[in-house]
Structure 1
Amino acid sequence: MTTLPRGTAALGHRVVRRRRAVAAVGAVSAGLLLLSACDEPTPISTITVGSDSVSSEATCGGEGKTLSADEIDKCLQDKDAKSITVDQDETVRFGVDPDVADKHWTILMNGQQLVEDSDKTYRTVPGSVFFNAQYGAQGNSTNVAVAARDGKDGSQNVTGVWVFKLKKD
């Protein structure tokens, strides 16, 4: 037998239920606040050589706005570009997010367009190309970049650049 007056035990359950509801509302509010503070990540580009790969978010742009020629030139000089070692006999594979591919993209080598624009999510290029003087290569490393286009017919506007350094093996 309990000595509590009738209905007193039920009051305790209401308090617990109220605390749980307040805690749940607080958790949802905190989660929404954190999500609203996050920036949407820029698309990623990946280079794969053999079983090694390196990925990066856009060095410049990547948000759909057209970059000026000066912005692109400055971006191509990135000293902190991610690097990967390339054997001249290997195939170098470039990959982009489907959103980038839908609007077309190309590969730049030392600032010059190396291949035609593509709407596929990947391209392959022989490793020997990146260290061949005929293509403007000098020394034991070459800067390459993936350049995203704006998706307009015939447009050469660049909206994002991903820079990488290829090192000769």
Structure 2
Amino acid sequence: MTDAFFQGKRRRAAAAVGAVAFGLVALSACDKPTPLATVTVGTTTVTTEAACFDESKTLDEAALQKCLADKSVKSIKVKQGDKIRVGVEPKIADESWFVVAGNQPRSNQTKQTYTSLNGDQLFYNQQMGTLDKSTVLSVVSKNGVWSVKLELDKD
């Protein structure tokens, strides 16, 4: 009778050890999530992960251009006169960041976690002197790029 009791204990112990080992393996296979950037227009908010991010090194010019060219980004509608609010996690702010839209810097470099921009100015195409129907707003830091597509809503 006691032999069956000890065998059950061994099985439970072996199952517990197996579960812990599996959990550790599963956790070690996960990538560390990148910091997030958030864009808010009115009551609509879009949160995005980095198109590219490496906290251990500074992006070179080629990597930066490749990240800025990424078009697979979330989108948000903007009406004329709307304010665009851009927020970043403290980890991004500590390294300083700025906003690019239409391949033009649209904010000064800052170490704040939040900035507000005039939506109309972000759609203005300086080369053509017109308003574009959409533009990609990118948060740029020395370690990464976060992008959101802004679509002009004429309604």
On whether the aligned pair clears a TM of 0.5, the verdict is yes
User: How has the CA–CA distance of structure 1 residues 88 and 133 changed in structure 2, closer, same or farther, with 3 Å as cutoff?
Assistant: same
- Would you identify which runs of 4 or more consecutive aligned residues in structure 1 move more than 3 Å? 133-138
Query: Which residue number in structure 2 is paired with residue 98 of structure 1?
Result: 90
Q: CA RMSD in A?
A: 1.8
Of 47, 53, 67, which aligns to 1:75? 67
In the TM superposition, what whole-angstrom CA distance separates every residue of 1:112-156 from its partner, at most 9, and x where no partner exists? 2211112121111122221234598742111210011xxxxxxxx
Q: CA deviation at 1:62?
A: 4.0
Map residues 1-12 of structure 1 onto 2, 5 A cutoff.
9-12=1-4
Of 122, 128, 148, which aligns to 2:120? 128
1:60 partner amino acid: C
Moved more, 25-34 or 61-70: 61-70
Q: State the distance in 2 between where 1:119 and 1:93 align.
A: 15
Query: Which residue number in structure 2 is paired with residue 147 of structure 1?
Result: 140
Larger Rg: 1 or 2?
1
TM-score by length of 2: 0.89
Map residues 1-169 of structure 1 onto 2, 5 A cutoff.
9-134=1-126, 138-148=131-141, 158-169=142-153
Cα contact 1:88–1:126 (8 A) shared by 2? no
Query: Which residue number in structure 2 is paired with residue 155 of structure 1?
Result: none
1:145 partner amino acid: S
TM-score by length of 1: 0.82
Matched pairs, number: 152
Cα contact 1:64–1:160 (8 A) shared by 2? no
Q: CA deviation at 1:166?
A: 0.7
Which ranges in structure 2 are unaligned for 5 or more consecutive residues? none
Which ranges in structure 1 are unaligned for 5 or more consecutive residues? 1-8, 149-157
